[in-house]
Structure 1
Amino acid sequence: MARLPKLLRRPKNALLRRPKNALSWWYNDVSDDENRASGRIRRISVTDRLLKHPGRLSIVYFGVLIVVVTALLMMPFATRSGHSTSFPVAFFTAVSALSTCGIQVVNTSAYWSMFAQVIILISIQLGGLGVMTFASMIALGVSRRLKVSQMMLTANELGTSKFSEIRGVIAVVLTTTAITEAITFTLLLPELLRVNDGDPGRTLWQAMFYAVSAYNNTGFTPDTSGLHVTNVGVGLPILISAFIGTLGFPVVLNVVQCARHKLSPKRWTLHTKLTLVTTAILVGVSLLWFLLVEWHNPDLFPSNDLSMKLRRSAVAAVMPRSAGFDISWVPGVSDVSKVFMSALMFIGAGSSSTAGGIRVTTFAVIILICRAAFTGHRDVTAFHRRIPRRIQMTAISVTMSCFSLVAVGSMALMFVTDCGFGDAIFETCSAFSLGGYSAGVVSAGNPASMFILAAAMIVGRLGPMTIAYAISRPMAPEPIRYPQESVIVG
């Protein structure tokens, strides 16, 4: 009898037996079946279990940081008065800092001691670099290499499709963050030194705090006055840094690479083009909106000076989608402007950026899908490129899940605070998109409202895709494909 091929000489039922996880051959270096076939029994440690599921690792990492920061902020020496902070206030502040949202229920400079402000600043930096970026660094340090599943989710987070580039991209992310914050810090020093009457210690601290907070799009400020929008030397560097932070690491990396190789903007990736064009449109529309609708609003425009109105309208156009600096004028805007700002915050900033929301590329894909449907085209295209169907379905799924979250959060906020729908939707969109603005609905005296917004911040920081990855399992291929039949919609 002829020798059987090597493939057919495997253990009995080896070809028919499938692992409990249908795609474990892709997510693990060695499958359970291969371990059993070779007679090797390896005890799986807690670390190995977490590394198999990078989405869960991100949640664990983020959860541990929340617990640690909350505990530190509850210490008596974390406040200027020397009294312990209540758990709801400490927890909300920790989540707000780590998620880079920036909504505050207590004044940062007046309530927290220098120790607590340093903890808040470190939390902002850790949150801004991205949960998955640090989770990947943990995996590198523990296992000296990235597993395939870790690389998949990290590639999606950082906007690269080549696994071999991920380690380099992580290095570029850290380098870009350091360079941008260092430049912002340097530009802020001269004017802040003048504002602080030559106090070098206070100037250095404020410059560093503003540099980190601006690039990471967080509304925390080291002083009671907030963003000095009337001071060009302070407001302009912060505004530019915050805007760069909203673009996202993939866009900044792509633009820098093309500029270094002297390539024209035509060679930019489709993601970069969609992000920049959509961002420019949103900023332009927002600028016109505040100039036209709020022109006579003394809270936003305290003087009739044209240059001052242009500067303050630019801040109002850029900041709501990302950072909540200078929130003093927000309660004074009209209800229709609050609804408009809620829509901007829901859209958010660029993918893999320090801000949140459904992201501008998701919004752009939704608009492109509508355009294709109304014009009778089968393909969804942009800049002479066809967008894959998988991306279209992801955009729709993310938008609907996020919209559901905001709707439920708004209704819950109305239930516990008796606020109006406009303020509730504004507050929830700000928390989910990590915008940092507040209409005054949440307060330290209402713990339920703080927990509701904290939940929205956590989901906004981790992202619905990461949470879906963490709680789901790979699906087995469908054995039967049913016939197609139309339904009536609309």
Structure 2
Amino acid sequence: MDNDRRSVWRGFSSSSQTKTPSVRRAFTERMLSHPGRLSLAYFLVLIVVGTVLLILPATSRDGQVTDFNTAFFTTVSALSTCGIVIVDTAEYWNLFGQAVILLCIQFGGLGVMTFASLITMTISRRIRVTQQLLAADELGASKLSEVRSVINVVLICTFSVEIIAFSLLFPALLRLNEGQVSQSLWEAIFFAVASYNNAGFTPDTAGLYINSWSVGLPILLCAFVGTLGFPVILNVFQCAHRRQGPKRWNLHTKLTVVTTMSIVTTSLLWFLSVEWNNTTLFHNADLSSKLWHALVAAVMPRSAGFDISWMPHVSEQTKLFMSWIMFIGGGSASTAGGIRVTTFAVLILVCRAAFLRRKDDSVFGKRLHTQTVIMSVAITATCSILIYVASLILLTITDRSLTDIVFECCSAFGLGGYTLGVADPGNPGTLYVLAALMVIGRLGPMTVAYAISKPQPPQAVRYPAESIIVG
């Protein structure tokens, strides 16, 4: 009888031990088979961890518990690399709190899909085909075999640019801080990470240091590089290593650089022509200050909202113009948000082809894929509806003007970081609407849709086509 009992117990124990790993394996398989959900889960976990840490009394200068809404909104703003703040970063958060924010910026800037791929590699020691497909689309790799190397390049590129920015910022900050080494080191690290990741958080009060050319110019250049995107930086570096000129850049790089420079130039000319005689903004300002503000307005609003003190003084026309710039955002697979400059470029090419009655959308001697055109139209339409709905909600729950509402929504979605004060701690509804826009802007509308949708089987039947009248 005892032998029978021992035999039964051994069988039960063996069954339990095999069942537990199988359950864990099944859960892992479900997560890895749907990388969009893995990315969303990773982002949500970081939001929870960051919010909990910022609530702790150890993160605030007064040693008091931070309310949930402030901690949550700050965490989302940092993880999304947006930079909209509702409390002054330097005055409210102590060194530990600023370190938590900086880590959130770094993890968010490296990219949700990048870390999702790294998690997958750690768990399964290989990247599944479905994971590779989505990671390749996010990181700009043209072949599945390139994904691992692109992830390595993302990490190397990120830290390399941040180290270069730090080396440029530290001597300038050391002079401005009158030889205070520890403060200059921390501010140089913070500005280097925040600028490359295009997050408008500043470790000094109101970001006053960036008005200095010696500090502001490295931040400006670093933020500009961050908006180009990892695929562009990788392609430019590869061509430079092979001693090949811009003519050998791939189509994505050419389209990104040309469109980006066009938007920056347009923004610069707009600000110089519209705001040059703005006495409220440029009261007793010299030529150098006007040119600096023009450069900031040309580069920063696309994703990096450093020094927001001048924003309330611009004209209504400029607010609306900047809303359009922030809605476009930066390059694909970059630290910027928005619909991305390549999406905007594809729409321009589609309009040109339609108006000229051309059959194909071509540029730089290359023809665009039909799927690329469809995706660009879908992304723009979806994001436009998203901004429209969010604006309606904010108009309902606030008494702000339509221009301010649209500006704030585009800034949150495009991760611009500029704010006109619509995000009000006294009105929690505004915080959650803008936080949702920041999350979608960081993950991308297609990733969110992929995460919440069910996988669909391949279409078995292709129906006959019929023309309709449009326009």
Scaled to the shorter chain, the TM-score interval is over 0.9
| 8 Å CA contact 2:206, 2:309 repeated in 1 | no
Residue 335 (structure 2) pairs with residue 349 (structure 1) = no
Code of the aligned partner of 1:280: M
- CA deviation string 1:343-389 (max 9, x = no partner): 00000000000010000000000000000000000100010100000
Residue 95 (structure 2) pairs with residue 114 (structure 1) = yes
| 8 Å CA contact 1:430, 1:438 repeated in 2 | yes
3-state SS of 2:206 partner? coil
Range with greater deviation from structure 2 (77-86 or 288-297): 77-86
- Alpha-carbon shift at residue 42 of structure 1 (Å): 5.9
- Alpha-carbon shift at residue 231 of structure 1 (Å): 1.2
Is the alpha carbon distance of 1:115 and 1:454 closer, same or farther for their aligned partners in structure 2, counting shifts above 3 Å?
same
- Following the alignment from structure 2 to structure 1, what is the Cα–Cα distance between the partners of residues 268 and 89? 29
Q: Which position in structure 1 is the counterpart of 2:117?
A: 136
Counterparts of 1:405-420 in structure 2 under 5 Å? 405-420=386-401
| 8 Å CA contact 1:227, 1:325 repeated in 2 | no
Structure 2 unpaired stretches of 5+: 1-20
| 8 Å CA contact 1:220, 1:325 repeated in 2 | yes
- Following the alignment from structure 2 to structure 1, what is the Cα–Cα distance between the partners of residues 50 and 126? 29
Q: Which position in structure 1 is the counterpart of 2:313?
A: 332
- CA deviation string 1:186-241 (max 9, x = no partner): 11111111111111110000000000000000000001130534311100000000
Q: Which position in structure 1 is the counterpart of 2:433?
A: 452
1:223 to 191, 201, 204: 204
- Following the alignment from structure 1 to structure 2, what is the Cα–Cα distance between the partners of residues 103 and 299? 23
Code of the aligned partner of 1:147: R
Is the alpha carbon distance of 1:302 and 1:181 closer, same or farther for their aligned partners in structure 2, counting shifts above 3 Å?
farther
- Following the alignment from structure 1 to structure 2, what is the Cα–Cα distance between the partners of residues 351 and 300? 33
Q: Which position in structure 2 is the counterpart of 1:307?
A: 288
3-state SS of 1:45 partner? helix
| 8 Å CA contact 2:210, 2:219 repeated in 1 | no
Code of the aligned partner of 1:235: G
Is the alpha carbon distance of 1:131 and 1:417 closer, same or farther for their aligned partners in structure 2, counting shifts above 3 Å?
same
3-state SS of 2:31 partner? helix
Code of the aligned partner of 2:152: A
Counterparts of 1:473-484 in structure 2 under 5 Å? 473-484=454-465
Residue 136 (structure 2) pairs with residue 155 (structure 1) = yes
TM-score (norm 1): 0.90
- Following the alignment from structure 2 to structure 1, what is the Cα–Cα distance between the partners of residues 22 and 185? 53
- Following the alignment from structure 2 to structure 1, what is the Cα–Cα distance between the partners of residues 290 and 266? 16
1:209 to 190, 209, 222: 190
Residue 207 (structure 2) pairs with residue 239 (structure 1) = no
- Following the alignment from structure 2 to structure 1, what is the Cα–Cα distance between the partners of residues 382 and 35? 21
Aligned length: 450
- CA deviation string 1:99-120 (max 9, x = no partner): 0000000001111121111000
Q: CA RMSD in A?
A: 1.3
Identical aligned residues as a percent: 58
Q: Which position in structure 2 is the counterpart of 1:273?
A: 254
| 8 Å CA contact 1:215, 1:244 repeated in 2 | yes
- Alpha-carbon shift at residue 255 of structure 1 (Å): 0.4
- CA deviation string 1:388-416 (max 9, x = no partner): 00000000000000111111111111111
- Alpha-carbon shift at residue 481 of structure 1 (Å): 3.3
Q: Which position in structure 2 is the counterpart of 1:29?
A: none
3-state SS of 1:220 partner? coil
1:402 to 349, 360, 383: 383
1:45 to 26, 35, 49: 26
- Following the alignment from structure 2 to structure 1, what is the Cα–Cα distance between the partners of residues 220 and 461? 55
2:146 to 165, 169, 174: 165
More helix by share: 2
Q: Which position in structure 2 is the counterpart of 1:363?
A: 344
- Alpha-carbon shift at residue 286 of structure 1 (Å): 0.2
